A and B are shown apart, each in its own frame.
Chain A
């Protein structure tokens, strides 16, 4: 295959523009009355074709094949190219106005030349720093060191005007004058000034001929009403040709200098805006509707520009997008694909003598029945669309080795699945297809964390790799199970979420017992096909504990211990004797003690059960564990039921009273504090003003009150409440959420302070001016279950709004930071000599991360899990 080795940038010489051109454009019009392109007009047929069915009159190709051809406009007078104006100024300043030589002291020339040659030899390119130094040096002399002509100051007026400041006053330098000077710069001088003489000449910065891009670049659109609408560039070119024509006629007619200059200026304006319509100093050219035209520079620039939108990011075929929904029965490696999509997306498969029978079946079934086929590609490259074939039998029989058929996506195919924003590599993972009815993509709940997906209307994209190599790489590198460990912290990012954790807790907590029937049902849902172990209770009837059932799904020989989420962090850990059963101990694949909750089974938990399985066994083993565990947990929680209601946050009257007492006390203390503050009895905290001190004390007091109220609620609500199970196990929510629901919502804050903004030194008209009481500054005494009073509700809304604004701002700033990080770091890779280098080969690190360890393969940052290895060796027989 041909490969582009390098791209060399340069200026277009007028001669090349002419040579490149297929026709000179002279008519400032597009189509005639019949709607046919005018010859040597802007839509000349020679410039290529954009209408299907037509042939290009230059190359004879049809729409897809004709690359388009340039035309040209001969300008009646030279014109400055805006983008080079600044450079032209520098050049004019540093060359002699008479002999056009670089005004460098003769003895300096060889010095600079040597330097430049050296840079040239080293990099093959001009060194801008040297050129800048040359231009600076050469700008100084007021007398030419060669011809001794007197030099004048060159003044540049944005965007394209130049003056020479003579004694008698400023004299305008016309583009013709400038071009004349630039033309006479010797090759050796322009080289020192930073021009690569192999591709560019200084005078080419002044335009004498303008290339006209092919029509494919500026297609005209036919509206439904039949009215043709031209592209912005075409509009601009029309202006240019029109003025150019007028200018020529006036010059030829010998019009007065003033008129010629005005027209010349106008031509300059049009050409300037043709290149860049956002040049400062001149009004942008506008469309009839008042919209600024989108000319060349605007087409390239910015997020919607050619570079970022079409070159760095490309549109693809073989992709699909739809809403996602959960399916707990899918493997983490699978994705449910709607039948309708499976019939549109295709995989090319080469017909061989070994698969020809199957392929015939697919062709026979055609595009409408599912495992079918949409296209046949014959070895001669001819593509047969089976939708329009009447008798597929003929095609099926005609199938031969060497044909390629584009068959429907089927169960078992590998596809890439993606959710935006693609913030890390786990945002695109490979899944195995499972074709399913209905119209959503289905995915296992365990893969929600890496995608950061939920099902409140999220949509995801799916891509079908078309090549054998791509499929192999997808399967080996990108499959979900290969991505369980996140390279961010060397721990699993996939794992149980929400109800899986509650359910795991219900399963493994003390006192969970199942009869044989229940045990078998649970294990069946996990696909467990082995013999049951001995029941832990035999009388009156055999019963199995939840821990036993959990253990059955653990791989044999697994050893680990950890502290569960429900751990109360006692001063002295009782280990496996823990009263709350929060010390998880697994020996030889048996859960001996402890409950399984977020720490042991949750997503994004380093050193969890899942992490140990991945590290000590394999990705496949971890997948097997998740795929069997999850359906089991779903069955369990479905059968036992799990929900939260108002009862979960309703407190006994005694507790309510205690909370009221706490809040009352806080209010009294608050009043005392205000009094002390008003009386000036408060002691200032060093470094803070008196107001700040007061506010801090008040905030502290109120947050203590809220915490106190929350603590009462916490004591009251035990693990029998489902809401508490969720917060304690880490399934969802935290103690604060519970406290706010049951006891007291607490202080609402805006910008980290109590709410204090409003007119007349008060937050709401309900209060007196300067009221500093908790109520008047956004303290919400009620709980969510009790309900907020109108004032509280309003303050709550203020705090809530800040949160929303915060998220909105955060996404954009962090997005930009990420873009910059990616752009700066994307070229960096590890080389075969273990060094880390950028694309230029510069060494960034001699050894990656100082120890050469890949975080994704590390054990939570550590290269080796020493404790595990030593334990393993020591437990082996001597």
Chain B
């Protein structure tokens, strides 16, 4: 009996033949299904034939308005989303923008998202070892002067800025007074003097100045407060999470470049949710992926079912020029070649004025333009022309 069933090798051989007709993912699924069953040769042939037929039946038709459908498929669920900005991401104490505001942030391709975070995975050495992880956290989390001092204030008696250090916090963060003084010296804020409890900074006088102006002191104060002692700039907080026996870090604030360079980090899996940062560090293809991932996550979190192809199209459109373009007047809509289309969207007058002096031409290839002039639009059934030469009617006698 068993000889009647096809062997895995035979299945593989038949599948290889379909590589050009079927997409890889489908072949993989099919392989899985086939290998888990006992099938005869004729059945195998029939299954593959049916699958190919079904696949061909599910293909998009030329002319299909995939853009409009994608826009609707992402926009329509927007009305059902909650506006609640904040939410817990899992069990951690980390706040992340979710729902409609986050979706808008993604399509807007904001340069400064409201809650940038990173998920940092660790290499095998660190994954399990909490002690080593804590060390790594020290390396990543930024420590500013403000964080390790009781007060940073202007002291007019001293004529400068006085930092009252907080020894316990410093111990906790493994920071010494020398380290702080060294970093401050690099910033060139003035003369620095200090011991383990107190650091005094006296900014230098400029020519013609008798006393240091208050405005300058304020400026220096801000500089001192924000002075980075150690860690990666921008990483405000690191939260250690353990899940399925693996330790990973979630951060508030991002510095992907820095993290990926840090030893002990699994730089093949660690990610940031900041689209522009991803584009700058990992390239435009990575940015496309993160747009898809983030948008999918937002929609899935709200329990909304949207086909990934729609999200892909949006992500591809946002990135296809090699740089991230926003959905809207400062990005894609503003760069459209059609004057009428741009004028109909936003800032109407500016576009018309501009078009007149530059002598722009609108070739009426898009949708809005043709709606405006009252012509059939080149989309769907409108993208097909039927040329017909009807027989001449017989002449009446």
Chain A contacts to B: CB under 8 angstroms: 3-11, 83-84, 87, 124-126, 128, 194-200, 205, 276, 297, 300-302, 305, 307-308, 311-312, 314, 421, 423-425, 473, 477, 487-491, 606, 685-688, 752, 806, 809-811, 813-815, 817-818, 820-832, 834, 836, 838-840, 842-845, 848-859, 861-867, 869-870, 872-874, 876, 878
Contacts and interface: CB of A to CB of B under 8 A. Distances in A.
A836 B320 CA distance: 12
Contacts of B380: 829
A708 B372 CA distance: 61
A878 B45 CA distance: 12
Contacts of A844: 313, 316-317, 320
B131 interface: no
B345 A823 contact: yes
- Taking each of B40, B314, B359, B362, which has the highest tally of chain A beta carbons within 10 Å of its own beta carbon? B359
A850 B308 CA distance: 10
A821 B306 CA distance: 15
B75 A817 contact: yes
Contacts of B179: none
B66 A829 contact: yes
Given A810-B100, A853-B59, A200 B356 contact: yes
B54 A869 contact: yes
Contacts of A128: 358
Contact of B359 (A83, A125, A205): A125
B72 A864 contact: no
Nearest to A867: B33
B366 A276 contact: no
Interface in B53-69: 54-55, 57-69
A424 B307 contact: no
15 contacts: A125-B360, A312-B371, A488-B77, A687-B93, A688-B93, A817-B100, A818-B71, A820-B329, A824-B71, A824-B328, A848-B309, A856-B69, A866-B51, A867-B33, A873-B43
Q: Secondary structure of the B side of the interface?
A: helix
A821 B60 contact: no
B332 interface: yes
B89 interface: no
Main SS at interface, chain A: loop
Contact of B26 (A11, A200, A864): A864
Contact of B82 (A490, A806, A829, A834): A806
Contacts of B339: 7, 9
A864 B22 CA distance: 10
Contacts of B40: 878
Interface string B25-36: 110011001100
B79 A811 contact: yes
Contacts of A302: 348
Contacts, number: 343
B330 to A, nearest CB: 10
A820 B107 contact: yes
Interface string B306-349: 11111011101100100000011101110011111101110011
B234 interface: no
Contacts of B362: 6-9
A856 to B, nearest CB: 8
A749 B34 CA distance: 53
Contacts of B353: 83-84
B364 interface: yes
Contact of B76 (A305, A314, A488, A855): A488
A874 B69 CA distance: 37
Given A821-B74, A854-B60, A126 B39 contact: no
Nearest to B74: A821
Given A4-B373, A424-B72, A836-B313, A9 B352 contact: yes
B59 to A, nearest CB: 5
Given A126-B358, A811-B79, A836-B313, A489 B307 contact: yes
A427 to B, nearest CB: 9
Given A195-B357, A687-B239, A855-B310, A818 B75 contact: yes
A850 B26 CA distance: 12
A10 B312 contact: no
B366 A827 contact: yes
B308 A849 contact: yes
Contacts of A822: 68, 71-72, 75
B331 to A, nearest CB: 8
A814 B75 contact: yes
A83 B349 CA distance: 8
A828 B47 contact: no
Nearest to A488: B73
B356 A9 contact: yes
Given A425-B69, A839-B378, 16 more contacts: A83-B353, A424-B73, A488-B307, A809-B83, A813-B104, A817-B104, A829-B66, A829-B378, A838-B317, A840-B365, A842-B320, A850-B312, A853-B58, A854-B59, A861-B308, A863-B23
Nearest to B34: A870
B359 A196 contact: yes
Contacts of B309: 848-850, 853, 855
A3 B47 CA distance: 50
A828 B75 contact: no
B46 interface: yes
A871 to B, nearest CB: 10
B307 A858 contact: yes
B141 to A, nearest CB: 12
B359 A10 contact: yes
Interface in B99-134: 100, 103-104, 107
B155 interface: no
Contact of A7 (B317, B364, B367): B364
Contacts of B104: 813, 817
Nearest to A847: B23
A832 B51 CA distance: 23
Nearest to A297: B349
A828 B366 CA distance: 9
A198 to B, nearest CB: 6
A508 B114 CA distance: 51
B306 A9 contact: no
Contacts of A862: 29
Nearest to B62: A832
B23 A424 contact: no
B78 A817 contact: yes
A826 B313 contact: no
B42 interface: yes
B359 A126 contact: yes
B375 interface: yes
Contacts of A829: 63-67, 378-380, 383
B13 interface: no
Contact of A827 (B82, B93, B316, B367): B367
Contacts of B373: 4, 7
A821 B332 CA distance: 10
A840 B361 contact: no
Given A829-B63, A843-B320, A810 B58 contact: no
Contact of A9 (B61, B331, B355): B355
Given A312-B368, A874-B37, A853 B60 contact: yes
B356 A10 contact: yes
B26 A814 contact: no
Nearest to A831: B62
A312 B344 contact: yes
A347 to B, nearest CB: 21
Contacts of A821: 70-71, 74-75, 107, 314, 327
Contacts of B84: 752, 806
A87 B354 CA distance: 10
B47 A870 contact: yes
Contacts of B345: 823
A813 B371 CA distance: 26
B226 interface: no
A102 B243 CA distance: 68
B81 interface: yes
Contacts of A850: 23, 309, 312
Nearest to A195: B357
Nearest to A836: B66
